[in-house]
Amino acid sequence: MSCFVDLTTAQIRELLAGMGEPDYRAGQLQHWIYQRLAISFDEMTGLPGRLRQGLAGRMRLHSLTPQQEVMGSDGTVKTLFALADGKTVESTLMPSPTSKGHTRYTVCLSTQVGCPIGCPFCATGQQGFERNLTPGEIIDQVLYFARRLRDRAGESPGSAITNLVFMGMGEPLANYDALWQAIEMLNSPQGFGLGARSMVISTSGLVPGIKRLSQEKLQVGLAVSLHASENALRSRLVPVNKKYPLEELIPVCREYVASTGRRISFEYALFTGVNDSLQQARSLAHLLGGLNCHVNLIAANRTTNPEFRSPVRATVLAFERELKRLRIACTLRQGKGLDIDAGCGQLRSRFLSESKSRVSVRKLA
C-alpha cells in the first residue's frame, strides 16, 4: 500500500482530482499532516467523512513505526523506526540551550537503510547498504519528533523543531531525488514550513551530487565529511575518496562556494594516532587555504573498532588552536547523547546484534 507523505503537492492534487474532489482539498490535507501533525486520516475532522474513508482505503498516511527509544542525560533522544518492509532506520533529536534562554531542537535524519560508503569508524558504515529511503520515510522522521515535542508532558508551548541535519544513516547525495523532494516539502509553506537555511546536508564527498546541489535555488547548507587532508589516509577513512580524490573534491567545493555564495562546512573527526597530530592540522589548513569554510572538529564516537579511539582533550584542543593560528575558522563540536551511544547507526547496530542473538538462541533450542 502506498504512503501519502510520499506524494508531492502536484501528486496530491492529481489524486484528489481522480476522486472528484476540488483542488483546495490538497491544501487542507497538507495542513492537517504538516501543521496539525495528524497521525491518521480519522483525525482530520475538518474534512468530509467520505474523503477520509476513501483515502484510508487507498493508502497509509505515515511510513514509520517507533521500535525502540533511548534518552540521554542531556535530553538527546534517539529513536529506532521500523519501516513498512520490516527494515529499520534511526534518527535523533538533539536539544541545545541558546544564550537567549530558548532551546534549539535539531533532528539528525537518515536517508538510507545502512550506507554504501563503508567508513570503518562508523557503525552504519559497517552495516552495509540495504536500500534508499523514500521521501515520505525521510519526512516522517521529522514529523515524529515534531509530534513528540508537541505532546511531551512538561515541554514548553513554544518548543518546536528549529534545525534539520541530514547526517544520520546513509549518504544523502546518493539518494538525491528522494532527499530533495523531502527538503522541498519540509521547506514549503504548504508543508512543514522550515526555512532552508535551517537545514544542512552532509556528504562523504560525492562530487556529482555537490555540483548538482550548487545549482539548487533553496539555500540549504552543505557539510563535507573530510577527516583527512591527504589521499592515502582519507581513502582509508572515507573509501569513496578512491573514486573522488581530494584533487577533485576540493575544487568542486570551491566551485560550490563561488556559485552559491554560501560558506561550506567540513567535518573532521579526530582519532588517536590517526589524524590528530599538529602536522596534520597544518596540512588541513594548507588544503583549505583561501576557501570560505568552517571546520567542525569532532572527538570521535566510541565504536567496536579499536583502531579508532577518541583523543584526549588536550590533543583535541591543541589541534583546534593550530587551525585557528593558521586562520582556519573552526569549532570543537560538543558531543550529544554520549551516554546512549547516539552516534550514527549505534542503536541500530545494537538492535541488529540482539536480533541475531535471539535467532541463534531459537535455533539452539
| Coil vs helix vs strand at 281 | helix
Q: What is the mean pLDDT of residues 59-64?
A: 96
What pLDDT is recorded for position 339? 62
What pLDDT is recorded for position 285? 98
What pLDDT is recorded for position 358? 45
What pLDDT is recorded for position 322? 98
| Coil vs helix vs strand at 47 | coil
Strand partners, 199: 164
Can you tell me the distance from the alpha carbon of 337 to that of 333, in angstroms, rounded to the nearest whole number? 13
CATH class of 4-58: mainly alpha
The mean of the pLDDT values for the chain is: 91
- Ranges of H-type helices in the chain: 9-18, 25-30, 49-58, 135-151, 176-187, 207-213, 231-237, 246-260, 278-288, 313-325, 346-364
| Coil vs helix vs strand at 67 | strand
| Residue range 224-271, pLDDT digits in tens | 999 999 999 999 999 999 999 999 999 999 999 999 999 999 999 999
| Residue range 100-118, pLDDT digits in tens | 778 999 999 999 999 999 9
pLDDT at 336 over 80: no
What pLDDT is recorded for position 335? 63
| Residue range 171-230, pLDDT digits in tens | 999 999 999 999 999 999 999 999 999 999 999 999 999 999 999 999 999 999 999 999
What is the DSSP-derived secondary structure letter of residue 62?
-
What is the DSSP-derived secondary structure letter of residue 89?
E
What pLDDT is recorded for position 300? 86
Q: Which residue has the higher pLDDT, 158 or 151?
A: 151
Are 209 and 173 in contact by the 8 Å Cβ rule? The answer is yes
Q: Which residues are catalytic?
A: 90, 344
What pLDDT is recorded for position 359? 43
Are 62 and 55 in contact by the 8 Å Cβ rule? The answer is no
Q: Which residue has the higher pLDDT, 75 or 364?
A: 75
Instruction: Grade residue 65 by pLDDT with cuts at 50, 70 and 90.
Output: very high
What pLDDT is recorded for position 124? 83
Q: Which residue has the higher pLDDT, 304 or 115?
A: 115
Strand partners, 129: 114
pLDDT at 39 over 60: yes
Q: What is the mean pLDDT of residues 276-286?
A: 98
| Coil vs helix vs strand at 193 | coil
pLDDT at 357 over 60: no
